Every structure is written in C-alpha cells, then in structure tokens.
Amino acid sequence: MVFCIIISNMSIGSTSSQYNCFKCRRYLGAKEEFMKMETEMGKICYECYNKYKVEVQEIAEKRIKIDSYSFGNIVIGGKRYTSDVIILNNRVISNWWRKEGHVLRLDDLKDVLTSPDPSTGWMPRPPSEGGERGGGLLIIGTGASGMMKVLKEVRDYFNSRGIRLIEERTEEACKTFNRLCDPQKVVATLHLTC
C-alpha cells in the first residue's frame, strides 16, 4: 500500500515538464524509461508516439498534392487537368472560369466563398460580424507568365477576414501549395495558361 502511494506521489509530484510526455502529460519515469524520443515539442512516450505516427500517416495520405505543372496542364493527385482549377478542402474543382480571363474579381471566387465549412476556420466571419481574424491562406496562381491580375476588392475582402493571400506565377504557386498544404487552411486557385 505504501509503495502505491509513493509511486502515485512521484507521478503527481513530477510537475516538471522535463519528466512528462508533451502530448498526454504521462510521467516518463525517473530514468525516462517510458520515453520513445525527444521532439521539438518535447519528450514523447511510446504510446503517444505510436498514435501520432498513425495520425501523421493518415493525414499525409489524405492530403492532395500537386504532382506537376506545365503551361495549360496540371497533375493533382495523379489526375491531369487542362483547365484552371481550385483546390479547396482537399478536393479539386476543375473548369474554373472567370468573367474576364485575365482578371480575378471577387465574384469569380464563389466556390471559395461559399464552400468552406465554418468549423474548419478557413473562411472566418469578419470581426464586424462577430468573427475572429486569421487562420487561412489563399494561394493565387496568376498563370505561367503572371498575366492574371488580382483586383483590390479581392485583396481587401480576404484581408478583412485575416486570410493571407499569396499571388505568384502558377509554377511557384504550386510549389508553395505543396510546401504549406493543410487541407483545412490552404486553398489554391490556379490559372494554367498565360
């Protein structure tokens, strides 16, 4: 009985984060015998490491990646598209058209404006409507030579919601999307020609 109390007190008494798993706060032992490894977030136990490894693998398998891009062609998740696309909430919307081919207006983004689930945090309501700022990223591929112009109304709308915009030529936008890809936070609109 005394032994149990001592173990219990050691567990409770070890409030120093150096002896606890950063994910579950489990005591790692006096000699860290229950520690699997040290990460940039802190030390992690065997159980959390195994769960985390599975979570990361599942997320990586679900993420859409851009395989390749060349003028007028893009391959996303193994499928080839020959018209402009929007990558939104881990799906591809093909045949994206704008009222004026080389001008991006707010109403050209109706799929982006209406589609996100508010619970994902990508399209928050503006502060004037009781929402919080921040959370999302919209990558705009302006074409192979950057011919598509983004109007000020587009920048103002997303900035008012705390959503960052990155405007780049489409080749660079594809690289940026793959590097920053988080299906709930990153959306790409990609013009494939000019």
pTM of the predicted model as reported, rounded to 2 decimal places: 0.64
Strand partners, 141: 168, 190
Residue, of 28 and 7, whose pLDDT is higher: 28
Q: 13 — phi, psi (to 5°)?
A: -70, -15
d(CA 171, CA 193): 11
Report residue 143 as tokens.
């074409």
Largest interatomic CA distance in the chain: 79
> For 141, how many CA atoms within 13 A lie in the half-sphere containing its CB?
31
Alpha-carbon gap, residue 194 to 180, rounded angstroms: 24
Query: What pLDDT, in 10s, does the model give residues 67-82?
Result: 999 999 999 988 999 9
Highest mean pLDDT among 94-98, 142-146, 155-159: 142-146
Residues 130/136, Cβ–Cβ less than 8 Å? no
Q: What is the pLDDT of residue 1?
A: 46
CA distance linking residue 95 with residue 85, whole number of Å? 6
Taken in order of first residue, the domains within the chain and their CATH numbers are 2-59 (no CATH), 63-190 (3.40.1230.10)
